[in-house]
Structure 1
């Protein structure tokens, strides 16, 4: 069978089914006894298996088949829902998403999922807690060194790949002076031989020297015990090293706490996420919508030309026809722009699983809430906004939300709250990420900013809290004490600000020490159409985005002053620099009939500038076009637009003019 013609349909359907499975698994974690969720997950997995088998993607079909077996046992009340089971199923969904993404880029969708199939087999055969068949012996490890389900699963998987799990206890000399340095050297030795997956005390306490004279590790390696012991003993001030293999010993049977059985009586059926979509829809490739928009822009140019001809000829029938055409094309423009709008839900949907995984990694408890996922944005913005939101959410969990013990000492709930909220206001969409964590430590940020020479000591003294918050967006800036997989390398928030500004948006920060922080992103509703003020400079027309304009004014020579070798004006008590656009863009000066100057006051955050132009033309909505691949770095120009009379007007990038 020729399957290429069905490939796009397969990819779209697969993504929808995987998203539904992901959402229902997270719902199932909150309500483990809700069989209706299990039925929906089973239905989506079964459909995906059938599609994959038909298309010849065996790895996807095999993995979904194993998921089906486990889900079927849950439906029949032969298995209970545990944290380990959900971890494995979510990992399987992640692998399936990866394979579908591989197919969408022209790959064959093949991936080694044998470890996931093996884990699903174990669950199906009754090992639902991640402990049975494990070679980890809790008795063998010191009582304080408890392994969670994820760590046990890692050990099991590594054994299949030829690694052996070791229990290592390192004893330091009683008079050891630099305990943290010795632990660091031990870790450095071990990292060349394998991987440390657990330490007691935790790494943070080892770095702070908050321990006695020994520490314990769980270590995965292919080296033999004697070699490892010898290499660790080469580190000075090490008194003794004990190395042993972690083996499973039979424990005395203890009465297990009975797991509540799944309720036989199901609640009201859950509405299927797949069936929520209207059946009166068709899928349209975004490239076709782009082509439609381009054709419409050509229509706008011809419409403008017809309007000019109509004015010249003054023919009643022609004027009436052109007026009707103008109204219809305006309605058509609104329809095309609406077709390009998509709910931001498709970006937000991937975050609950990420938050769950990250919270486990950081050993924190987090309640994650999404509000306003139905808010719509232009497709071009949707495609770009995902990465900045990932950075901000990771920042909230790592730097914002405190550990449960710390929160308890501060009379807070042990479970932290992170809220992701989207809403529309005017021609903008706002996205807020709020947490009830520690807030931003202004003194710590200022100290780090001075160390990194982001600001001088004298400048730091005059900064307001809002200005200090903006410093965290500086390149290479990080207040993390320890570099980890989550943060600490100074990469993240500067990327966030750059990306959001490239989309024509801004980002603000609000924070209260001990109460939490809120990051507010303001984005244009669409990148395809913007409201501008048309101005003339010499004989050329330029467009200034209305979102950047505070107001327009007329000034004289007497209103201008000189400060720091620059001409400035006093705008309501603030010194605002003047930018003469004819000099900037090298446009021949128009003859000045009088001493009056037309200015446009623009802003970027708290900073302002006054753009000097020759004449105001008026406000207009225009279609934004890029300058093409050969003109990517033109200073202070963000794009161009074609006006109704066929003329091209360049769009001024106000952010580039304000320093």
Structure 2
């Protein structure tokens, strides 16, 4: 199979699967709309055709059955229930799994999808049964439209009741007979599926039924509650059917369900609406091709810098003008390629609403999931690396941040909580925030756990500010969870979160208030490919320090230096800063004497250190190139770059140096 065709197929197919999943969540949250159902139907139809064309028969069959169900729901949007969304999401999961298998092996797995196909067939049959109610009514009294007009003429309404018995009902036929008898006592039963005659004759063992009744407007609730009072009835959903002239303003009557019945659907707020599901036309370019162009650009930048160095001593004005124009054009190309590398956070965030929906049901929590800043752009590499970090923080918020609904009510808070995922750019950085309005971090509980683990003494804990207390949560193996689950609470999470964030040149902090909630704030660089850096000289070699880590450059005299436990430190208004002689740290030469010295004060998160260098050379943008597999164990350096004169300059890893300072 042609790899290029397969790559294009997988990319477009994943988009259609994402559209289907987003549509399901919107359908569950906002209810059926013609444009939403039409968009979902088109996505399934297109995916079916593409799969068949590529020869992936199992995927084509699966999408065909999903398309059949969506087509039926388009014709009868008023019949959509939670079980339809559940089955469609089940099909979407299987579609995504098949596409991932195809991407890994370049072929479709042979295992069939009998379980998902059976689930789709079951709900599709229920839709056909609902349609049969209309056909039954049409044969008896001239159709539902006529019945609706007849009811309106009598000052009554035509209602459709969808009844479901408990799954383990022992005598479903008897229970349905009791339901039909109850309906006939309180209203006019004009149509039913299963048919009334078959139910009363004992020939039916179904656990679901659809009935049409004519009832007085003010007695709808009474009829519904009477049905719910019948033994083993789990749910009774009522929809009011209007005459054709009133269909545009027809209403649906649906009471909240109690325990054991269908829960009201909830989902993620801030997700794209159905109108946003139609993506703008795009030119698909693989990330590999963009990376190749960026590598070529980095060589061009290096060559340009080298040429500018050579021309600086020339008196030829035309040559100088040509180099200046080359510099402008290179900068424009660089900006354009960086924009290609930048992607909106929505590219990763779009998968979180489904995850949070499933967590809400699994944890028996009630919350709204809100996403903002989806159009915020950041480096694709950074964004992909942050995907699992955000997953952990969201799970932590749902599992430990929010209280159970009953606890929230007892505290005077709304039963439904809120978990918010936000992204925004500011000052050359991108910020990602995960916030909840839950119980907040219990300071005393954190300190007790830290003392028990021997991390601090009780006396130290009593004097620690909140920021330092919250920092304990990022210690390896630290956890205050009372139980260990497969969602969170195993003590292996927040330290990994911090390590990942700091490895990307970012930082993370926590804000919390008891009874109000907790917010994790992550600060990240916009891009890792080309970054501004400070060039410093040390023992004849040139090193680069990312300016994101540089706080200040200062001349350090002997009077400025103090000693703590025989180690030199530099006091300032913010505290004391450990002094690290870069030459000694890198083994270039022994400790040097003599003042004044040049010190570059660097910051890594809350830690600071003063790097002693010979002098500062320049500040410019550099191309960050990885060291390669054989040098990955060298902790002092984060990468390398090539300078304008052709020399290689190593990029210092301030975090690694700070760990030993």
1:478 is matched with: 479
2:309 is matched with: 308
Matched, 1:617 2:617: yes
Quick one: structure 1 residues 605 and 266, their matched pair in 2 at CA, closer, same or farther if it must change by over 3 Å?
Answer: farther
3-state SS of paired residue (2:378): strand
- Larger helix percent: 2
2:238 is matched with: 258
Q: Distance in 2 between matches of 1:613 and 1:254?
A: 76
Matched, 1:105 2:104: yes
Q: Distance in 2 between matches of 1:290 and 1:254?
A: 57
> Does the Cα contact within 8 Å between 1:556 and 1:596 map onto a contact in 2?
yes
2:656 is matched with: 656
How big is each residue's C-alpha offset from its partner over 1:50-106, in whole Å with a ceiling of 9 and x where there is no partner? Answer: 111111112211221121222122111176222222112112111111111111112
Quick one: structure 1 residues 477 and 264, their matched pair in 2 at CA, closer, same or farther if it must change by over 3 Å?
Answer: farther
Q: Distance in 2 between matches of 1:253 and 1:100?
A: 41
Matched, 1:544 2:545: yes
Alignment of 1:552-571 (within 5 A): 552-571=553-572
Q: Distance in 2 between matches of 1:555 and 1:445?
A: 40
Task: Provide structure 2 residue ranges, at least 5 long, that are not aligned to the other structure.
Answer: 131-160, 173-229, 251-272
Matched, 1:137 2:137: no
1:276 is matched with: 279
1:190 is matched with: none
**TM-fit CA distance, 1:463:** 1.7
> Does the Cα contact within 8 Å between 2:511 and 2:518 map onto a contact in 1?
yes
How big is each residue's C-alpha offset from its partner over 1:324-377, in whole Å with a ceiling of 9 and x where there is no partner? Answer: 111211211111111111111011100000000001000011101110111111
**TM-fit CA distance, 1:320:** 1.8
Q: Distance in 2 between matches of 1:642 and 1:130?
A: 71
> Does the Cα contact within 8 Å between 1:34 and 1:266 map onto a contact in 2?
no
> Does the Cα contact within 8 Å between 1:35 and 1:266 map onto a contact in 2?
no
**TM-fit CA distance, 1:132:** 6.7
**TM-fit CA distance, 1:454:** 3.0
Quick one: structure 1 residues 138 and 404, their matched pair in 2 at CA, closer, same or farther if it must change by over 3 Å?
Answer: farther
- How many pairs were matched up? 544
Quick one: structure 1 residues 5 and 429, their matched pair in 2 at CA, closer, same or farther if it must change by over 3 Å?
Answer: closer
Q: Distance in 1 between matches of 2:434 and 2:582?
A: 38
Quick one: structure 1 residues 96 and 446, their matched pair in 2 at CA, closer, same or farther if it must change by over 3 Å?
Answer: same
2:216 is matched with: none
1:599 is matched with: 599
Q: Distance in 2 between matches of 1:393 and 1:11?
A: 28
2:288 is matched with: 287
2:8 is matched with: 9
> Does the Cα contact within 8 Å between 1:52 and 1:60 map onto a contact in 2?
yes
> Does the Cα contact within 8 Å between 2:424 and 2:431 map onto a contact in 1?
yes
Q: Distance in 2 between matches of 1:640 and 1:487?
A: 38
> Does the Cα contact within 8 Å between 1:598 and 1:613 map onto a contact in 2?
yes
3-state SS of paired residue (1:297): helix
> Does the Cα contact within 8 Å between 2:535 and 2:616 map onto a contact in 1?
yes
3-state SS of paired residue (2:107): coil
1:335 is matched with: 336
1:181 is matched with: none
Quick one: structure 1 residues 506 and 633, their matched pair in 2 at CA, closer, same or farther if it must change by over 3 Å?
Answer: same
How big is each residue's C-alpha offset from its partner over 1:598-644, in whole Å with a ceiling of 9 and x where there is no partner? Answer: 11111223221111111011221111111111000212211111112
Quick one: structure 1 residues 259 and 639, their matched pair in 2 at CA, closer, same or farther if it must change by over 3 Å?
Answer: same
Task: Provide structure 1 residue ranges, at least 5 long, that are not aligned to the other structure.
Answer: 141-249
Alignment of 1:185-584 (within 5 A): 256-259=236-239, 265=248, 272-273=275-276, 275-277=278-280, 279=281, 281-572=282-573, 574-584=575-585
2:56 is matched with: 57
1:145 is matched with: none
Q: Distance in 1 between matches of 2:81 and 2:493?
A: 34
How big is the alpha-carbon RMSD for the aligned residues of Structure 1 and Structure 2?
2.7
3-state SS of paired residue (1:634): coil
The normalised TM-score by structure 1 is 0.78
3-state SS of paired residue (2:37): helix
Q: Distance in 2 between matches of 1:460 and 1:254?
A: 53
**TM-fit CA distance, 1:137:** 3.4
Quick one: structure 1 residues 304 and 257, their matched pair in 2 at CA, closer, same or farther if it must change by over 3 Å?
Answer: closer
Q: In terms of Rg, which structure is larger?
A: 2
